Structure 1
Amino acid sequence: MVRDYTRLLQASFFALILFIATPQTQAQTYKVEFGKNRIQYKYFDWNYYASENFEVYFYNGGRDIAYKTIEYLEEEFSRITETIGYPPYAKIRVFLYNSVIDKQQSNVGVNAGDFTVGGQTDFVQSQVELAYSGDYTSFKEKVIYSITEMLIEEMLYGGNIAEMFQSSFTNPIPLWFTGGIARYVSVGWDSKSDDAVREYVSTTIEDSFVKLTPEMNILLGQSIWNFIAQKYGQRSISNILNLARIIRNEENSIERTLGVPFDQFMKEWRVFYSNTNVELRKSYKLPNEANRVSGKNRNGMSFTDVKFSPDGKFLAYSRMSQGQFSVKVLNMANNDEREIFNGGLKLNDQEVDMEYPLLSWADSTTLGIVYAEDGRNIVAVKRLGTKGEQKIEIPLLSKIQSFDFKDGGRFAVMTGAINDVPNAFTYNLVRGQVRKISDDYYDERDITFYPGSNQIVFISNRKTDSVFVDGPQTLKEVEGNQFNLYAYDIDYPDSSFKKLTNALAVAKRPKVVDGNFVLYLSDQQGINNIYKFNGYDSTSVQITDFLYGIKAYDYHPESRMLAFVSSQNGEESVFLKTIDIGSSMFSPVTPRRALEVARILAERRRSRIGKQYNQLDSLSNPEKLPTSTRSPLQKLDSLKEGAINTEAYEFEAQTKVDTRDYRFEKPSEDPNVSGRSFLSIYQNANAGNTIQGPTNYENRFQTNNVVTTFVIDELRSFSQLLEIEMNDYLQNHRFRGGVLIPLSFSSGYDVYGEYEYLKNRIDLSAGYYRKSIVRTNASNFLNQRFNKSTFNIGLSYPFTHKLRLEFNPFFTQTKYIDRDIRLLIPSNNPAQYVSEITSDYLGFNSSLVFDNTIVTGTNLHQGTRAKIRYETHLKMNQNAISFSNLEVDVRHYYKLNRAIYLAGRAYFGSYYGNAPKKYLLGGVDNWAFNTIESSNAEINPLEFQTLFDNSDVLFHQFTNLRGYNYNTFQGRNVMTFSGELRFPINQLMSNSDLKSNFLRNLQFVAFYDIGSAWDDLSPFKKKNNLNIEEIRNDNSPFSAVINNFSNPWLQSTGVGVRTMLFGFFSRIDFSFPIRNFETLDPKLQLSFGYDF
């Protein structure tokens, strides 16, 4: 019933819109542009490899990883498309960056998350941007996740133009559904998702993900898809996704595919994971709330590192939120905590490196902080108790995964990547010299010194202790399920790496306690806990048993204090407790881990059998023996290898009767053959042998979006806006063009075209804008046209991601044409009147723009925006008269609590010069049923008369003030202030998951506006333009000036409603105007578009 009422209300409202296009209806479309910047610190010379289904683009240093990526994607392509049940319409373009730092310089998606005009249809592109993560193991997962995510977006929101237009009017599919399946396809059922769902089902009752972080939505969604695969079979995944593509509703697609009501399905999901959690809670522990030292984490910050000073007197930890980070130091003696360093940029629309910053103590009072700044990797050396810090650029490495100072701070070891190849390195800070410790294709991680020596311990997935090995040559050969501890003495570079552990698990973050004991994290039992390696007998024992995995930790042996990062009630926190590392414990293995180990062992057995079979085949066919070793870039003949692996066929046959076994296993057989249909095999039969390139990148253009919407212009009635934006793949070149056509074609039109070149740090632009206003009145034969044409070029220099300076020279021409038919009669056309006047101006405008806002919802921001703009028009012919303009616009948005926002805007504008123009105060943007106030001034700026050139109307600006008509006050100066409290319903209802687009975007606002417009005398003075009037008698030489004590300020207060209707954001304001200290009758205003 509620849903039917909502639809009826929407239909009635839309019908009302169609009938408001009367000749008296006016509107405003002027909007101040802000926006953030992308800064290019380096030049990217792009090339690409091409294959059957992909194009992988790379630049200097990325050739090797690009080839491995396209090779791996072709091998995984069939598995991905078969799992989700969707092949792409075109080749997928992958732009590969050497690091997250480089990817942040990309122009793709800049300001994409901000609000746009209604009626915009964004074209879904078969394109992915990938940043190399610093090691092959995590990069493999990232590659599959990104490709799957893109395919899901294309599948649901637009594989063709019709679907793209349809999706612009439908509700978006939630992140847990789309991001969850992408992560499930990339990693299956992993410990991170297992930890997340284990905590969620044990701490919550309702199954609503609306208020959870995006990461938590993805992890819980991953667990839901894993549950579907286990209980209903792998093929149910593609069936659900394809139904969702048709009906655009995730809940109904699950219901209809599985035959289970969605509420019942979610209960089964909760029971499934709760049952596995019961036994674990009996054996594992939760961190004690009293041991939390980082305070409440209400903002969802991520803690990246934690380190004790060598003497144990200080504990440093770092935390990251949307790209901004801070480092705090806790005095262990008095619990005094201080922030000693901060940096980064707040980015909610770009990928950030969540491993930064890294911490390492050089001595007991000097802390090293590794982070990224201005496109470089930096180590900041901060001495406690002093101001400032020394910043040193770390050369060569595009990504630093771990960093550790040797005592004294002059020498360090680190793991990271050069030319996208991960290795371990030494770093001499005095000489600025970097040298390799390892030189192969294995993943090295988490390096640290033995105290007081040149021996190191690090983590690696290498299979041999030899220094002189190459490692895996393709991404498919990289194994990510076994990382062990290795020791090495850098004084003896030709010695072997000593393998300390040999567990079928992933070890992390070694901490050397003394020469014979090393602590490290391991997921051996399924949850990341701390283990201790004993060098005397080469054994390892478990020493912690926390229910939720430890992310980072440090241990101080003298004080026996353990500091660690873990989760508590869905929040990451730093905990501190004493611990006895001499004790040991044994916790049960998680069900997920037991299945994972069984799968790995089964794959290894099959692999050994396959090798034995190939050896026998080689003996019987000597010509098949290899004659040379394969180079890193040599192609794999994967089809041939798969074709002789007969086990693949038998395994597929089993899955038809027992999907419970198949759902857990990623088959070791070649995915180009195993588990696929004949058509899929035929389509990709030659895919592995068609990699071409590298080829130079050439600019190719595509449509980014189109806009088909309406605006209500102040002087030209109801109008249709048509706009198109095109750009090259990297969005370094952008074209935008459009036309504004009034419903009454005789009222004039607007047409414009813009080009932007954004490849370098200084952005260049050029544009043409034409505005035409036609005024006709049959009763008095009025027929006038006013045209304004502007050609401009511009440049923009970004100082930071938040601050930029713009400079735009331009040429403007205005033309007034009087087409009164009576002027054709010579006696009615006096010589002193001219029916056509052209004025030429040459000028420039310059703006300083600041914007650090982030989008928190529809019509909702947090942060500050400001713009100072100066513009001047210099006369170029005798008809023109020079004038200038100065404007200041400041807006601040503050989140009072989790669901109430305070927004404020202060605006000042001033025209001056020989021919200053006017500000017309009153009204709102895109106001339906609006009214223009008659002017009391000697010259009405909106008056049109035969043989009267009112071209100034092309420059006048309408300024908003709710509760009043347009042009209530006018003057060459204006000042306004607006304050709003915004109440978004979907955030106020904390556990709601509103499906209606109308209800999900519904907001209530309470506002207060105040403003004034004047010419010479400021409203801040007792005598001003609005409270004095001159009385003059034509027959007398005397005149009198009277002060009527009128209030020069217009005020209004009221409430409003905002929501989305048919893709258009609509506003209704109920205002109480306050004028001359008197509250007037309330005024209802219906308008369209977003608030300030």
Structure 2
Amino acid sequence: MVRKFIRLVQVIALTICFLGLSAKMNAQTYKVEFGKNRIQYKYFDWSYFASENFEVYFYDGGRDIAYKTIEYLEGEFSRITETIGQLPYAKIRVFLYNSIIDKQQSNVGVNAGDFTIGGQTDFIQSQLELAYSGDYSSFKTKAVYSVTEMLIEEMLYGGNIAEMFQSSFTNSIPLWFTGGIARYVSRGWDSESDDAVREYVATTTEDKFIKLTPEMNILLGQSIWNYIAQKNGQRTISNILNLARIIRNEENSIERTLDTPYEQFMREWRLYYSEANTLLKESYVEPDVDNIVSGKNREDYHYTSVKFSPDGKFLAYSAMSQGQFKVIVRNLGSEEEKEIFAGGLKLINQETDRNYPILSWADSTTLGVIYAEEGSNILAVKRLGTKGEQKIRIPLLSKIQSFDFKDGGRLAVMTGSINNVPDAFVYNLVRGQVQKISDDKFDERDVSFYPGSNQIVFISNRSTDSVFVSGPDKLEAVEMNQFNVYGYDIDYPDSSFRRMTNALAVAKQPLNIDGDKILYISDQQGIYNLYRYSLSDSTSVQITNFLYGIKQYDFNYDLGKVAFISNFDGKDGVFVQDLNVNASMFSPVTPRRALQVARILAERRRERLGEQYDQLDSVNSQTVSPIEVKSPLQQLDSLKAGAINTEEYEFEIETKVDTRNYQFEQPATDRGVNNRSFLSIYQNANNENSIQGPSPYENRFQTDNVITTFVIDELRSVSQLLEIEMNDYLENHRFRGGILIPLSFNSGYDIYGEYEYLKNRVDISASYHRKSLVRIDQATFLNQRFNKNTFQLGFAYPFNHKLRAEFNPFITETRYIDRDIRLLIPANNPSQFIPEITSDYIGFNSALVYDNTIVTGINLHQGTRAKVRYESHFKMNSDAVSFNNLELDVRHYYRLNKAIYLAGRAYFGTYFGDAPKKYLLGGVDNWAFNSTESSNAEVNPLDFQTLFDNSDVLFHQFTNLRGYNYNTFQGRNVLTFSGEIRFPINQLLSNADLKSNFLKNLQFVGFYDIGSAWNDLSPFKDKNNLNTEEIRNEGSPFSAVINNFSNPWLQSTGVGVRTMLFGFFSRVDVSFPIRNFETLNPKVQLSFGYDF
């Protein structure tokens, strides 16, 4: 026992020695075996605009929105940086995509978050990717959110090299803290956050958010930052953030800044929102749980659309999760549900379009589904009761926000964007043509047909009903707080749209139900509820009073039922219930809404007072100024941009100055100076906001990460691994190089370098790897060096985000050098001695790789990984001998519940050909104080002797099996299976927000391993290589074959502990080996790195 304790102390001391060489450990292995794919469906030719603080990159079709974006972000820069108290370390690079579909083709962060490299320190860059959202108002919010999020990440985790290395050792800041402040800066106190916190404080007493979805974490975090700003002022926000940057603890930073214990702060936060909503509960009602049709939503689906069939027999709704979606149709009579369509890909660490899929019925049995596939917008037309569906690629539109079939399904209306300009469109499915309904720079949303008519109703933030007004030229001028209902008849183009509502609120999803009544949802009272507008008397009336806002809805007039999506237990839920559309009610305004309206009105009043008006008098003189008259409904290719209709021309009237009654203009005061800090004023003092460009994108490289860690090599013991990875801004070009140096300095080394070109669909790579192994034994004068040099080209073709094929031709050279000094004496040097042998090979390896796993925690995955790999070495000279290799590796990870995981791995490998190599079974990766078995075979694969060329050791592979030493079994074939059950403590403890790295990453595992290695006779046969011995006496013509009935399978079972120890993810396994049907003494193995 004392000896074991001493050895444990030695291990801890060894770990501390390497602490200075290690950073955040994402995996202690330098072999990347799997990985996700990004597919490029189009070519991106980038250019950029540059300003004082930003570079905004764009490609075809994105020039106009890029200019508006850089202009808008420059205007918001002072507000953002002053609020959070952080300036960027460099000019912020914004890569602007025309749609989320295009952004999903980016290579940036393709394997981020996975366990791939050990000792990795990521370099935080002043860079972000931003996808246009489809309309200007939501894009403004998204742009500010993305910039704020990037600055927060740079503030907390990077900036300079010292801070990046420091952040690698510390705990990460929770999402509610970082994402919450980004959302608060971009949105303030909005209805979605208000809904979330209203439900949360009413239904739970927990103040830890670790069990909640990422979306709920961000929404509740937003409410916390709003509470801080309301109670303590906005300048408190920067103080808290800067203290969190120093002490790396969000709770202590809040506690010290506000001088309030964190527990008390959270109680006061809860009380603040509870008291604010006490009166609301008396006037509002919660959706009836009995009316929910989507269940408890244990998979955390985001429901995107809900639609009744025209005859009222069916209800269709769509559920999205991480890019994958399904469409479910519910028979309202039998209450049976069936999944009729599914699509999408599970996207890891990528933005997904939460608006897709969009549903609309063409008739009572035909459903249309709009979604994204292979870089395009697709309309799938699915007929109930039949197999398959018709898929139509929608032309021109890069983003679709809404669509609705006209009865019969031959015509549809849509809102979306072309060249990043939001408009309403008519889509003729028969001809495949798209026509514009609107042609301006206002935001159009949520379009639908009147029943049995070509009249449409839609939502817009236009300030006028005229079709001739082009709309705001700058994003700053885009209206975000006022969206109203408009109507139009596409058969009779007019000079104006019909404005139906005029409220200082955001209306959504208008639906004409009987020719006169139009339903829509609005946040007029602070919570999105249903309203009814009557065309006959032009009045609007509230008809529902739900406590939690309606996100999507549909109404069937014949059934008198409404289906809607709303909050349920912190997640989305689909409800169906009766609705009296003739009802009328009035609900009180929420405190949030009252404050918002007051601020909007105050801001508008300040704007009016700050405007400068020209004091002009009308005189009879006129000057000519043309205005272009636009057709409200035009075919996209019918007019060229900027063309003037000379047949119809109008002139503006310009008045002359009346010098007899002239008044000098009063200079407008700078309304922001009084409320701005010195930092804000200083930033803008010399900033003329001049925008330069566009300029072509040039490949400029930056350091992405640095790896400094150690590897316990099976042949060379403890080795230091140093690696650096560089790439261009878009990660289309990647350079990776490294060196592995044993600490003994006389055991050899590894050097490798790789270049990858990922810009097109076929990924191309070139690499060089040199492995050197030295064996020195002064007692026996052994001094041998074995070198292997490999030059390889690589080609990878991704079929989708989960599956790819690889083909890699290579040239390999091995060299054996015997440096035994005794061989320099002629008498000791036999004539056949060759001090140096070089073997040259040419060959290839090909693989099929599947990976749909997602990271759910440290050392935890969900999903499946599989790889089939074939490799051939063909000899190029007389000293080389050809051989081949085939391997299959399958790993599956299953989540039993929120805190228990099953993991299984099956591995098979075989060498064959003229000179097959060996698999050495036993041991684990990075095993401290490892042991190696002496081989019972005729030729020990790990034996090194003078005059004996054992270059095969450069190709032998060690295969893991816990509870045994290295090389317990060996053979040219191997088969293993490992099963684990994993218990992460952080997830087992309900709402445990553990701060200690040791406890936060603590896991207990139970495992079972089984495997065998053999040459010719399979262990599945009664007679095999492991239980059969041949006895032969030298000089005797007789021999005997004896079956010793040994079990050809090595087995082990046991338990283990995993945790982060001194910056390293460490494993301790207590194994009970089972060999020859006998359980042996337990074996303790300490190793570093993640499990399979």
TM-score, normalised by the number of residues in structure 1: 0.94
Which residue pairs with 1:603 in the alignment?
603
Structure 1 partner of 2:15: 17
Q: Aligned equivalents of 1:893 and 1:717: distance in 2? A: 31
Aligned residue in 2 for 1:854:
854
- How far off its partner does 1:119 sit? 1.5
2:271 matches 1:307: no
Distance between the aligned counterparts of 2:236 and 2:847, measured in 1?
55
Q: What is aligned with 1:253?
A: 253
Distance 2:475 2:383 in 1: 42
Task: Look up the match of 1:615.
Answer: 614
For residue 1089 of structure 1, what is the amino acid of its counterpart?
G
Aligned match of 2:668 in 644, 652, 670?
Answer: 644
Cα distance between partner residues in 2 of 1:929 and 1:967: 15
> In structure 2, what is the equivalent of residue 556 of structure 1?
556
SS at match of 2:1022: coil
Q: Using the TM superposition, name which of 30-39 and 106-115 deviates more.
A: 30-39
* Aligned-partner Cα distance in 1 for 2:350–2:787: 42
Residues 687/978 of structure 1: CA separation in 2 closer, same or farther (3 Å cut): same
Give the drift of 1:936.
0.3
Residue in structure 2 matched with residue 946 of structure 1 by the alignment: 946
Counterpart-to-counterpart distance in 2, 1:331 and 1:813: 68
Give the letter for the 2:430 counterpart: V
1:647 CA drift (Å): 4.2
After superposition, the Cα gap between the structure-2 partners of 1:628 and 1:927, relative to the gap in structure 1 and judged at 3 Å, is farther
Residues in 2 aligned to 1:584 and 1:816: alpha-carbon distance in whole angstroms? 91
Q: Is the 8 A contact 1:756 1:765 kept in 2?
A: yes
Contact 1:29 1:712 in 2 (8 A): no
Task: Give how far 1:336 is off.
Answer: 1.2
- Tell me, what secondary structure is at the counterpart of 1:465? coil
**Map 1:27-426 → 2, pairs under 5 A:** 31=31, 33-426=33-426
Output one character per residue of 1:580-621: Cα deviation in whole Å (capped at 9) or x when no partner: 11111111110000000111111111122222x4435x899x
CA drift of 1:514 comes to 1.2
Query: What displacement does 1:181 show?
Result: 0.5
Asked whether the equivalents of residues 317 and 328 of structure 1 are also in contact (C-alpha less than 8 Å), the reply is: yes
**TM-aligned CA deviation for residue 11 of structure 1:** 9.8
2: distance between equivalents of 1:914 and 1:963?
33
* Cα deviation code 1:441-484 (max 9, x no counterpart): 00000000001111000000001111111101100000110000
Q: CA deviation at 1:805?
A: 0.3
Q: Please list, as runs of the form range in 1=range in 2, the aligned pairs for 1:877-888 lying within 5 A after superposition.
A: 877-888=877-888
Deviation, 1:682, is 3.4
Counterparts of 1:143 and 1:1063 in 2: how far apart (Å)? 36
More displaced, 121-130 or 507-516?
Answer: 507-516
* SS of residue paired to 1:687: coil
The letter of the residue matching 1:1082 is P
Q: Aligned-pair distance for 1:322?
A: 0.7
The offset of 1:1061, in angstroms, is 2.2
Q: Which residue matches 2:677?
A: 676
Which residue is equivalent to 1:461? 461
Question: Does the Cα contact within 8 Å between 2:122 and 2:705 map onto a contact in 1?
Answer: yes
Residues 612-635 of structure 1 deviation map (CA, whole Å, 9 limit, x = unaligned)? x4435x899xxxx99999999xxx
Q: How does 1:478-517 map to 2 (within 5 A)?
A: 478-517=478-517
Q: How does 1:984-1003 map to 2 (within 5 A)?
A: 984-1003=984-1003
1: CA distance between counterparts of 2:864 and 2:672?
59
Aligned to 2:737: 737
* CA positional deviation for 1:186: 0.4
In structure 2, distance between residues paired with 1:72 and 1:643? 24
1: CA distance, partners of 2:274 / 2:627: 51
Deviations 1:779-836, CA, capped at 9 Å, x for gaps: 0100000000000001000011111000000000000000111111111111101010
Kindly state the Cα deviation for residue 676 of structure 1 after the two structures are TM-superposed. Answer: 3.0
CA distance in 2, matches of 1:373, 1:122: 32
Superposed CA deviations along residues 506-543 of structure 1, whole A, max 9, x for unmatched, are 00011111111000010000000000001111111111
Q: Does 1:814 align with 2:798?
A: no
Aligned to 1:703: 703
Contact 1:189 1:592 in 2 (8 A): yes
Do the aligned partners of 1:74 and 1:688 also contact (CA within 8 Å) in 2?
A: no
CA distance in 2, matches of 1:509, 1:72: 28
Gap change, CA 1:688 and 1:508, over 3 Å in 2: farther
**SS where residue 563 of structure 1 aligns?**
strand
- Return closer, same or farther for 1:404/1:176 CA change in 2, 3 Å cut-off: same
CA distance in 1, matches of 2:860, 2:28: 21
CA distance in 2, matches of 1:11, 1:716: 23
Q: Per-residue deviation at 1:30? A: 6.6
- In structure 1, distance between residues paired with 2:538 and 2:1005: 67
CA displacement at 1:688 relative to structure 2: 3.9
CA shift for structure 1 position 1035: 4.2
User: 5 Å matches for 1:727-876?
Assistant: 727-876=727-876
Greater displacement, 1059-1068 / 774-783: 1059-1068
- Alpha-carbon shift at residue 1063 of structure 1 (Å): 2.9
Q: 1:619–1:1080: structure 2 CA closer, same or farther, 3 Å change rule? A: farther
Query: Residue in 2 aligned with 1:591?
Result: 591
SS of equivalent residue, structure 1 residue 509: strand
Query: 1 CA distance for matches of 2:216 and 2:718?
Result: 45
Name the CA distance, whole Å, in 1 between partners of 2:502 and 2:494.
Answer: 23
Contact in 2 for aligned 1:28/1:713 (Cα 8 Å): no
Confirm or deny: 8 A CA contact 1:20 1:928 kept in the other structure. Answer: no
> What does the per-residue CA deviation read over 1:1005-1046, in whole Å, with 9 as the maximum and x for residues that have no partner?
000000000000000000000001011122431111011110
Contact 1:769 1:790 in 2 (8 A): yes
TM-score normalised by L of structure 2 = 0.94
Contact 2:18-2:709 within 8 A present in 1 as well: no
Contact 1:75 1:688 (8 Å CA) reproduced? no
Deviation at 1:947, TM superposition (A): 1.1
Matched, 1:1019 2:1043: no
* C-alpha RMSD of the superposition: 2.0
1:443 aligns with 443
Alpha-carbon shift at residue 277 of structure 1 (Å): 1.5
Amino acid in structure 1 at the alignment position of 2:856: T
Question: What secondary structure, in the 3-state scheme, does the structure 1 residue paired with 2:274 have?
Answer: helix
Conserved 8 A contact 2:30-2:118: no
Alignment check: 8 A CA contact 1:705 1:725 kept: yes
Contact 1:518 1:533 in 2 (8 A): yes
How far the C-alpha of 1:494 sits from its partner, in A, is 3.4
Residues 1067-1087 of structure 1, C-alpha deviations (whole Å, 9 max, x = no match) = 110000000000000000000
Distance 1:195 1:726, change over 3 A: same
- Aligned partner of 1:411: which letter? L
Letter in 1 for 2:668: I
The offset of 1:683, in angstroms, is 3.3
* C-alpha distance in 2 between matches for 1:779 and 1:737: 37
Instruction: Out of 461-470 and 918-927, give the one that drifted further.
Output: 461-470
Query: Which aligned pairs between 1:1054-1065 and structure 2 lie closer than 5 A?
Result: 1054-1065=1054-1065
Alpha-carbon offset, residue 29 of structure 1 = 5.1
Aligned pair count reads: 1041
Q: 2:780, 2:104 → 1: CA distance?
A: 61
Change (3 A) 1:19 1:171: closer
Distance in 2, matches of 1:145 and 1:18, equals 40
Q: Distance in 2 between matches of 1:646 and 1:972?
A: 81
Change (3 A) 1:842 1:595: same
The answer on 1:571 being equivalent to 2:595 is: no
Q: Which residue of 1 aligns with 2:434?
A: 434
- TM-superposed deviation, 1:31: 3.8
Separation in structure 1 between the aligned mates of residue 610 and residue 18 of structure 2, nearest angstrom: 75
Contact 1:904-1:977 within 8 A present in 2 as well:
yes
Rounded to whole Å, the distance in 2 between the matches of 1:844 and 1:850 is 20
Structure 1: stretches of 5+ with no match in the other structure: 1-8, 22-26, 633-640, 653-674
Three-state SS of the structure 2 residue aligned to 1:615 is: coil
